[in-house]
């Protein structure tokens, strides 16, 4: 009898859990998205620039989208050159500068765009969605809004090197072997060191420490209870710097029952899911989601 009661309680809990999470699934009965925009704005993350989206841009343009890949302030140029000669004033770039830069672009477009953001670009996209600047958003390995945190040691280790207050307002410049090792640990941990170093040379740029610190500040708060455009969260189950537990917490915070929040997690993928080998699968899934 006790066993039967225990099973009944578990079943009820599972039913309640399924009900609470139902509008976050990829269920066929989900409300139709009706995404009409054919304009896409790609938003790069920290330690990267617009170069990370070159192949995505080509793929999306083949499918009839008009694509924009803006560099965030002080991120313009060749990554290797930026590492050797960091732009003057980079250390003063704030999260608000990213937002303002993108709002200026979006307001100049003939229609509200679809936003595709990676990492801190994902958090930026969420802020722009909240401000009514998007038709839909795809959030890849997205930094969570203020209030979502985990105390996993690997997460703390990966982030502390970047946001530590002991570093002041210096530039985080991944120009030496120490930062190549950090890149492999925090960004490309599922890849070989050789492949990680190759991607580092191709994409890594110096970064303002003030920008990522904003994730702990009021500016990174988002009203997740208000109605919003369709959102797709994508993550790698082996992500260290933004572990999937944080992405799942973010998903659950979006409460409006009439708004769409979908998700897709990939086994064996790390934080750089949109630029490492196999990016095509992620990009194609994104395209399918937009058209279905």
pLDDT, position 23? 40
**CA gap 262, 250 in Å, rounded:** 12
pLDDT, position 241? 94
261 CB-near residues (< 8 Å, 6+ apart) = 23, 24, 230, 231, 233, 251, 254
pLDDT, position 175? 63
Q: Is 156 exposed, middle or buried (0-12, 13-18, 19+ CB in 10 A)?
A: exposed
Domain 36-291 bears CATH identifier 3.40.50.300: no
Query: Residue ranges of the chain with pLDDT lower than 50?
Result: 1-30
Strand 136-140 to strand 171-172: parallel, antiparallel, or no bridges (unpaired)?
unpaired
**CA gap 281, 291 in Å, rounded:** 16
pTM: 0.88
Both tokens assigned to 179: 């930062």
**CA gap 114, 205 in Å, rounded:** 25
Q: Is the dihedral of CA 179, 181, 183, 186 positive or negative?
A: negative
Q: What radius of gyration do the chain's Cα atoms show?
A: 19
- What share of residues in the chain are helix, strand, coil (percent, to 5)? 45, 10, 40
**CA gap 240, 98 in Å, rounded:** 24
Measured in degrees and rounded to the nearest 5, phi and psi for residue 207 equal: -140, 145
**CA gap 127, 85 in Å, rounded:** 31
Nearest to 126 by CA among 151, 95, 156, 150: 95
Total residue length of the chain:
292
- Cα 141 from chain centroid (whole Å): 4
- Contact indicator for 190, 236 with CB cutoff of 8 Å: yes
Q: Give SS3 for 150.
A: coil
**CA gap 262, 74 in Å, rounded:** 33
pLDDT, position 287? 98
pLDDT, position 31? 58
Alpha helices by DSSP H, the chain: 2-21, 54-62, 79-84, 95-107, 120-130, 153-163, 177-186, 193-203, 210-213, 244-253, 279-291
């Amino acid at each position: 009898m006790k066993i039967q009661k225990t099973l009944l309680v578990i079943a009820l809990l599972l039913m309640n859990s399924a009900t609470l999470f139902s509008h976050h699934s990829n269920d066929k009965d989900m409300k139709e998205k009706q995404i009409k925009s054919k304009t896409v704005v790609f938003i790069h993350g920290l330690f990267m620039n617009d170069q990370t989206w070159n192949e995505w841009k080509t793929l999306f343009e083949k499918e009839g989208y008009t694509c924009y890949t803006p560099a965030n302030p002080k991120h313009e140029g060749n990554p290797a050159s930026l590492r050797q000669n960091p732009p003057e004033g980079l250390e003063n770039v704030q999260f608000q500068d990213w937002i303002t830069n993108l709002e200026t672009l979006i307001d100049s477009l003939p229609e509200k765009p679809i936003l595709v953001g990676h990492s801190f670009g994902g958090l930026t996209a969420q802020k722009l969605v909240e401000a009514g600047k998007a038709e839909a958003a795809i959030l890849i390995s997205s930094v969570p809004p203020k209030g979502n945190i985990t105390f996993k040691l690997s997460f703390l280790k990966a982030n502390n090197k970047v946001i530590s207050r002991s570093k002041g307002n210096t530039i985080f410049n991944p120009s030496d072997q120490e930062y190549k090792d950090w890149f492999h640990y925090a960004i490309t941990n599922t890849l070989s060191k050789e492949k990680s170093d190759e991607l580092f040379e191709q994409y890594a740029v110096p970064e303002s420490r003030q920008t990522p610190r904003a994730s702990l500040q009021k500016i990174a708060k988002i009203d997740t209870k208000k109605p919003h455009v369709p959102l797709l969260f994508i993550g790698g189950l082996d992500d260290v710097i933004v572990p999937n537990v944080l992405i799942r917490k973010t998903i659950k915070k979006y409460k409006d029952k009439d708004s769409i929040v979908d998700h897709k997690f990939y086994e064996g993928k790390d934080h750089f899911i949109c630029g490492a080998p196999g990016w095509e699968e992620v990009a194609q899934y994104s395209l399918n989601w937009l058209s279905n």
